[in-house]
Structure 1
Amino acid sequence: MNAPIGEAEDGPPVVPALSVIVPTLNELTNIEPTVAELDRALRGIAWEVVFVDDDSRDGTPEAVTALALRDPRVRLLRRLGRRGLASACIDGVLATTTPAFVVMDADLQHDPDLIPLLLRALDTVDLAIGSRYVAGGDGTALGARRGVASRIATLLSRLILRQPVSDPMSGFFAMRRAQFDEVAPRLSGIGFKILLDILVSAKTPLKVAELPFRFRPRHAGDSKLSAGIAAEYLLLLVEKLCAGIVPARYLLFSAVGGIGLMVHLAVLAVAVDWRLPFALAQALATWVAMTNNFFLNNFLTYADQRRRGWNVVTGLASFYVICSIGAIANVGIANAIYTHWSVWWQAGLAGALVGSVWNYAVSAIYTWRR
């Protein structure tokens, strides 16, 4: 049995016993209400809150900073050039020294009144989860679209889970730091589902308790659910299914390359039909496919390092330049094969395959480097 979580006397705590990790991205109007609710719910517990901000542009980091100047329990960890709830949670926990931590959202859909119960559960388990799907829980505030997505994600999680957990998609849980430190080196940090990552990455199944809670309506802000987030979730599933042997990002990059190959052949077919010289047709198809691959990879494969604004232009330029060697080999080999056999699709396929490995290697190092 674990030792109980420490408590503090009334008054400002000197040494916190609990860290509340709150990832943020454009949550300006939620910062002060979140701290106020924590202050109300955690009376008698020595706590701190760490807002891990992914370079919000709405004034969120400035609001946290201003609040931290008035309340020493408030801390800010600001990340530049990085995105993703899972990696934000990992960075937030590693920036603390408390024996226990809680992860929760900044939109007040997670009720801080459950935190003392989660901490109490840690007396006998490794991980205490706020669940929407056990008896007494309620996830209707998710709405129809997010509710369906959550249920589908939960079903898919069974492909990699080694223990029955009703709500592995929950973003509201408590854990002891000692158990987290044991799991941390094996975490993928991909996407938005850090709890699932923790459950699957543990060497042996963790002792888990699930406590029911009512998922509340969003206080302010917008849902971050998107196609990119769904792709990151699938990326996490694939990496865990492969036991980390094959990097999931490489697999997704290859899938994008497969789409690019179809685009390449489609453009080449049209260009050949227009009676363009084959070398010119192959070059045109290569350029279109390369552009397609950059934007798909920027949106899906490297969603956590996505280039935005002017950086999209510079990233695309670097992608063109770096991949030019592969493109030259692509066109040269394809043209040589077409000259000998005059079968356009075979020549196009061979040329496209030549540059694929090169494109992945150099783009990972240069185009999407952190």
Structure 2
Amino acid sequence: MSTFVTQKPALLEKNETALPVRAGCPEITVVVPCYCEAANVRPLVDALTLALAGRDWEVVFVDDNSPDGTIEVVRKLARTNWRVRGISRIGRRGLSTAVIEGALSSSARYVAVMDGDLQHDETRLGTMIDALTSGCCDIAVGSRHVEGGDNSGLANVWRHALSDGGIRLAQMILPVKLGDPMSGFFAFRRDWFVNIAPRLSGAGFKILMDIILSAPEPPRVEEIACTFKPRLAGESKLDIMVMIQFLGLMLDKMFHGWLPIRFLVFASVGAIGVLVNIAIMNVLRLAGMEFAIAQSVGTLAAMLINFWLDNTLTYRDRRLKGTRLYGGLFVFLVVCSVGAWANIGIAQIFQQGGQTFDKASAAGAVIGVVWNYAVSSTLIWRRK
């Protein structure tokens, strides 16, 4: 529990009195990962103040350098409200890693996670914390899919379908019974989480699945019925790319981390580029264009498609924007050109060594994609 003490500075101006200074940490930390939620920060703090009245709590907003000034709103509130803290992340994005950083920044006994869009029912936080303090569970989940829960706040039929499809897939591999594994509203003991944190992949947006599948032993889970309210401001982040990343997380956990999911996505994007190249080249050849020109146009188109897909999907958490986007595209074209020459060179070496044409081509392709991936990850979409 936190306490307040009166701290007297070494020098005080005349008529100035010492102010109470908060000592210790709160009992509860609410972690709110956010991106472009400036309009929702103050209403959420007000809602938490009512919902957690009588409890010792703080809220930590983890902002991924939102262009709408979300972190500035947080800082303005923090100047007058000690319960409000902010973490500003530059050069990286992702809900899961934001939750991890927010939770590890806390010294509280209990940590709750909720979205910053006011769609989670903050009035259920007390019940979730009480479930943890009773010792009956390791993690309490705000569930839309138990008796008394409701998910009508999802924007449309498409988002309902994405959510429901993800739930069915998740339930196939979860070691525990959980009606709402896609929930982003849950609470846990911090000491329990700290032991799991090194095992987390931090990929994608569905951190609850990552936590449960990373635990060395199946955790004890308690589901607390809650409603999912309509969004009042900002835009939802749930889209098909989130679901693709969710599938990647499932594969990563199913294969215990030895399967390089990002590399597989990168290679799959490369395969799409090959199909684009062949299709465009054939169309141009049918139109009477010379082979060399048709192949060059098809190759360039494939590179552009690959860059867009890699920037949108493979490296979604490191996405390039603005001037960095154009610089990254130029480097990508150079890297892929070098990779193509390496592909041809390696294939020739293998063929001269007595390998069949198919095996030599496959060896060249593998070397080419490994080169492209290694340079892309360390040079173009490197972590800041």
Q: Do the two structures share a fold, i.e. TM-score over 0.5? A: yes
Q: Deviations over 1:289-316 (max 9, x none)?
A: 2221111011111111111122211111
- Residue 8 of structure 1 contacts residue 45 of structure 1 at CA under 8 Å; is this kept in 2? no
- 2:173 and 2:344 mapped to 1: Cα distance? 42
Match of 2:34 among 17, 24, 27: 24
Residue aligning to 1:198: 211
Q: Which runs of 5+ in 1 are unaligned?
A: 1-5, 338-344
Structure 2 unaligned segments of length 5 or more: list them.
5-19, 351-357
Query: Which deviates the most, 114-123 or 286-295?
Result: 286-295
**Counterparts of 2:171 and 2:3, CA distance in 1:** 40
Aligned pair 1:131/2:133, yes or no? no
Query: Partner of 1:107 in structure 2?
Result: 117
Contact persistence 1:107–1:221 (CA under 8 A): yes
2:154 is the alignment partner of 1:142: yes
Contact 1:7 1:44 in 2 (8 A): no
- Check conservation: 1:102, 1:175, Cα contact below 8 A: yes
8 Å contact from structure 1 (residues 286, 352) kept in 2 = no
Residues 9-47 of structure 1: per-residue CA shift (max 9 Å, x gap): 9x9964311100001111111111111111111122111
The question of 1:59 aligning with 2:76 is answered no
Q: Identify if the C-alpha distance between structure 1 residues 45 and 13 changes in structure 2 by more than 3 Å, giving closer, same or farther.
A: farther
In 2, Cα distance between equivalents of 1:163 and 1:7: 35
- Asked whether the 8 Å contact 2:332–2:380 carries over to 1, the reply is yes
The SS at the match of 2:229 is coil
Q: 1:57: how far off?
A: 0.9
Q: Which of 241, 244, 266 is the matching residue for 2:279?
A: 266
Instruction: Give the partner amino acid of 1:175.
Output: F
- The residue that corresponds to 1:165 in the other structure is 178
How far apart, CA to CA, are the structure 2 residues paired with 1:131 and 1:13? 35
Partner residue in 1 for 2:92: 82
The structural deviation recorded for 1:265 is: 1.8
Specify the SS of the correspondent of 2:118: coil
**Cα distance between partner residues in 2 of 1:197 and 1:45:** 29
CA 284–346 in structure 1, closer or farther in 2 if over 3 Å, else same:
farther
Residues of 2 paired with 1:352 and 1:269: CA distance?
21
The residue that corresponds to 1:118 in the other structure is 128
CA contact (8 A) 1:24 1:106 kept: yes
Q: Post-superposition shift, 1:286?
A: 2.7
CA contact (8 A) 2:30 2:112 kept: yes
Q: Which amino acid aligns with 1:48?
A: E
Partners of 1:176 and 1:353 lie apart in 2 by 45
Say whether the 8 Å CA contact 1:25–1:53 is kept in structure 2. yes
SS at match of 1:52: strand
Deviation at 1:331, TM superposition (A): 5.6
Aligned partner of residue 244 in structure 1, secondary structure: coil
Verify: 1:71 aligned to 2:54, yes or no. Answer: no
Q: Distance in 2 between matches of 1:356 and 1:346?
A: 15
**Does 1:220 pair with 2:233?**
yes
Distance 2:298 2:371 in 1: 18
Name 1:276's counterpart in structure 2: 290
SS in 1 for 2:276: helix
TM-fit CA distance, 1:352 = 5.3
Quick check: 1:33 aligned with 2:43?
Answer: yes
**In the superposition, relative to structure 1, how do residues 61 and 195 fare at CA in structure 2: closer, same or farther (>3 Å)?**
same
TM-score scaled by length of structure 1: 0.89
Cα pair 1:8 1:44 within 8 Å, conserved: no
The answer to whether the Cα contact below 8 Å between 2:343 and 2:365 also exists between their aligned partners in 1 is yes
Tell me by how many angstroms 1:153 deviates. Answer: 0.4
> 2:107 matched to 1:97?
yes
SS at match of 1:211: strand
Residue 181 of structure 1 is matched in structure 2 by: 194
% same residue: 45
Q: 1:43 aligns with which of 36, 53, 72?
A: 53
Cα distance in 2 for residues equivalent to 1:26 and 1:184: 26
SS, match of residue 172 in structure 2: coil
**Number of aligned positions between the proteins:** 358
State yes or no: 1:253 paired with 2:266: yes
The verdict on how the C-alpha distance between 1:69 and 1:293 changes in structure 2, with shifts beyond 3 A counting, is: same
Q: Paired residue for 1:307?
A: 320
RMSD (Å) for aligned C-alpha atoms: 2.7
Task: Name the counterpart of 1:211.
Answer: 224
